[in-house]
Amino acid sequence: MANTSSAKKAQRAAKRRHVFNMRRKTAYKAEVKNIGKAISAKSKEAVSMLPKLQKAIDKAVKGRTLNKNTASRMKSRIAKRLAALGK
């Protein structure tokens, strides 16, 4: 339990940031799952899902929920899977 007023304020801020971070994390994970299912089903709509996934990942990076290198790696791997689907 926080003792000082500044520690209490930091705890409130951390709780608020946690809510935003979880919202962003849930958003990009859901998109990854959706596009993964579409790729597995060899669906052509997977290509149209890519911009939505990239947007969710970029928003997570912007809010510092996700590291930029991690985001880049995720986008690259999904793009590689999509390219293999097109062959």
- Residue pLDDT, tens place only, 19-77: 999 999 999 999 999 999 999 999 989 999 999 999 999 999 999 999 999 999 999 99
Flag whether pLDDT at 1 surpasses 80.
no
Are 53 and 28 in contact by the 8 Å Cβ rule? The answer is yes
pLDDT recorded at residue 85: 87
pLDDT recorded at residue 87: 64
pLDDT recorded at residue 28: 96
How would you class 57 by CB atoms within 10 Å of its CB: exposed for 0-12, middle for 13-18, buried for 19 or more?
A: buried
Query: CATH says 5-86 is which class?
Result: mainly alpha
pLDDT recorded at residue 86: 78
Q: What does the domain layout of the chain look like in residue ranges?
A: 5-86
